[in-house]
Amino acid sequence: MRMSETDGKYKLLESIGSPRDMKSLTPEQLRQLSSELRQFIIEVVSSNPGHFGASLGVVELTVALHHVFNAPYDQIIWDVGHQAYGHKILTGRRDVFHTNRKYGGISGFPKPSESEFDAFGVGHSSTSISAALGMAAGNDYKDEADRQVVAIIGDGALSGGIAYEALNNAGHAGKNLLVILNDNNISIDPSVGAMKDYLLDITASKSYNKVKNDVWNLLGLMNKITPHARSYAQKIENAIKSILLKQSNLFESLNFRYFGPVDGHDVLHLTEILKDMKDIPGPKLLHVITQKGKGFAMAEEHQTEFHAPGKFNIKTGEIIRKVPEGPQPPLYQDVFGETILELAKSNKKIIGITPAMPTGSSLKIMMDEMPERTYDVGIAEQHAVTFSAGLAVSGMIPFCNIYSSFMQRAYDQVIHDVAIQNLPVIFFLDRAGLVGSDGATHHGAYDLAFFRCIPGMTIASPLNEVEMRNMMYTAQLNPKGPMVIRYPRGRGETVDWKQPFSEIEIGKGQQLKDGSDMAILSLGPIGKEAAKAIESLEKEHISVAHFDMRFLKPLDNKLLKTIFSRFNKIITLEDASIVGGLGSAVIEYMNDNSYKAKVLRLGIPDRFVEHGTQEELYAECGFDANGIEAAARNLVHSKILTRAM
């Protein structure tokens, strides 16, 4: 939706071209701008899907930040970025906000190449404090003492280990830094862990909050009388916290000056607090209480569902779903969720683990029925892997489900804690390959490459839902070491997928179709694009054999020997980086065994791919059905080379 289509509903918002236009706004105008900004987000996202609830929850905080601070000179870093839609709208992207997450449009996350107001690129959680501290240190070095650095991090992201590392370092370094803790007791799913309980104790202490507010008001009067009011404030605040809270303040023990908790939906109070805190040197933390989905009833009541709801009715809140004409194949995540529960009922050793994605991974299906055998460990991928290793040592069979792009954060733990000890941890990599509108930060492009080089690692990718069930079944029969099963975002293709379990031979591929002119070797569900291309090529009398490799490691060397003995023109196909994946492995086999063939690798190119639908991105990268068809046609009609491409 463009401003020309709003019928004057957003008069004040229309006047804001950048944060500079907000500096002289009156208190009443700040309230009005907050109201218009919230409604604008609701209206646009209802028809152009994106991350919804998180941005509604920080509208007032966003307005206050850009009213008080001088961005982009002052650097504002949004952790993860789900909550940054208001920030984008107020920083010159209002009129293109309708392109958010669309192919060729603006990113759904803060991105420095898109705007100078996006101080740091984000997408994964818990990075903001580290980045902010680095910026503050750089500002010190450049003698820019007047430059403010602000990191906004949610309570869910605070469960990530890097956040604690940064707090520890920042408290010691003493740099001028403001951390705003956006506490809404949820990330995508409800927050878990002791930190959640600790923050709840602070926010729920009525005695502490009443006395704190009285002292705050008193100090407002004292500040007019004496310039030492703030030093008195710190002493009085510390005394209140020590007396009225059950435990000492964690943040102050890390040398942060703690302020709060305060109402995150009172834009005027936030503005005054932020103005005061600008003048306080050193590391500071402001604890802000917000409600995810604030201002839209259905989003307030159903926070997980309205994290990213898709299109919805702006009047009723009803999520608009396409009504299928008949039975639909399942989401791959649901194949995992339903199958792990089925297997767990017969194998008492299976334990499910996920780092803060029980709904997204569908582990929640098992969690609801077997809570004692499932663990949501919070946003803590490193911990999830080593926790799984500990379970394996205890004789359990851990099914550890982590999104492919998030697994990047736990690579050392996979090698050091699992692979070197050859522990039977089964990793399920959801959202492997190109994921669509979340873009470069979330594409699962690199797992094949970074897992293939680990000794003893088994790597599998099912062609369809039936094969995925069978791989899961096989993995838990008699696990000998670590194994990876990767699968994409979205739906499969088989409606009747709940077939009886069947063991799959580890390292064994399969021929799907015979042919005589060339061969396509695919790995995973992307093989269905190859099947479409092969069908079209047959109309041109081009005969293509199709092999589903199933396993990247160990490779089916017997099948490869047959392929290279018959074909001198080969395409490898993978929904993953072509650097180090299936194509690389096949060429290595060819070289090591002195075969000569022309091998063309199709997959994600050696660059960062931006956002769009999965279909648009497959086409861009040249491995949708049309791209495969064109590549095969060119290869068949080309001259044979005596070396690999």
Across the 645 residues of the chain, what is the mean pLDDT of every consecutive 10-residue run? 69 97 97 98 95 94 98 97 96 97 96 97 96 97 95 92 95 96 76 65 55 54 54 57 60 91 96 94 95 93 90 93 89 98 98 96 97 96 98 98 98 98 98 97 98 98 98 96 97 95 97 98 98 97 98 98 98 98 98 97 98 98 98 88 41
483-486 and 374-376 beta bridge pairing = unpaired
Second-level CATH architecture of 510-636: 3-Layer(aba) Sandwich (3.40)
Question: Where does 3-188+254-301 sit in CATH, by number?
Answer: 3.40.50.970
Give strand pairing partners of 375: 353
Amino acid found at 62: T
Active site annotation includes 381: yes
How is domain 332-486 classified at the CATH fold level? Rossmann fold (3.40.50)
Amino acid found at 466: V
Which residues of the chain form CATH 3.40.50.920?
Answer: 510-636
- Which pLDDT belongs to residue 238? 58
Q: What is the dihedral of CA 41, 44, 49, 50, to 10 degrees?
A: -30
Is residue 38 within 8 A of residue 56, CB to CB? The reply is yes
DSSP string, 371-392: GGGEEE--S-HHHHHHHHHHHH
Closest CA to 359 of 334, 388, 377: 334
- Which pLDDT belongs to residue 107? 97
- Cis? peptide before 554, omega within 30° of 0: yes
Structure tokens at 409: 């954060």
DSSP string, 180-237: EEEE-SBSSSBP-SHHHHHHHHHHH-HHHHHHHHHHHHHHHHHTTT-TTHHHHHHHHH
The number of C-alpha atoms within 13 Å of 181 and in the hemisphere containing its C-beta is: 28
CB atoms within 10 A of CB 154: 31
Q: Is 545 helix (H, G, I), strand (E, B) or coil?
A: strand
Choosing from 88, 409, 469, 489, which is the catalytic residue?
Answer: 409
Rounded to 5 degrees, what are φ and ψ at 65? -60, -45
Which residues of the chain form CATH 3.40.50.970?
Answer: 3-188+254-301, 332-486
Is residue 573 within 8 A of residue 621, CB to CB? The reply is no
CA–CA distance, 368 with 359 (Å, rounded to integer): 11
Rounded to 5 degrees, what are φ and ψ at 15? -85, -5
Q: What is the dihedral of CA 103, 108, 109, 115, to 10 degrees?
A: 70
CA–CA distance, 568 with 102 (Å, rounded to integer): 40
Active site annotation includes 60: no
Is residue 160 within 8 A of residue 379, CB to CB? The reply is yes
Find the helix or strand (DSSP H, E) in which 411 lies.
helix 411-413
Choosing from 60, 381, 529, 574, which is the catalytic residue?
Answer: 381
Q: Is 404 helix (H, G, I), strand (E, B) or coil?
A: helix
Structure tokens at 610: 């931006």
Q: Is 435 helix (H, G, I), strand (E, B) or coil?
A: coil
CA–CA distance, 367 with 190 (Å, rounded to integer): 14
- Which pLDDT belongs to residue 331? 97
DSSP string, 485-537: EE--SSB-S-SS--PPP----TT--EEEE--SSEEEEEESTTHHHHHHHHHHH
Active site annotation includes 292: yes
Structure tokens at 75: 């650097």
CA–CA distance, 192 with 377 (Å, rounded to integer): 7
Choosing from 94, 111, 284, 292, which is the catalytic residue?
Answer: 292
CA–CA distance, 283 with 275 (Å, rounded to integer): 15
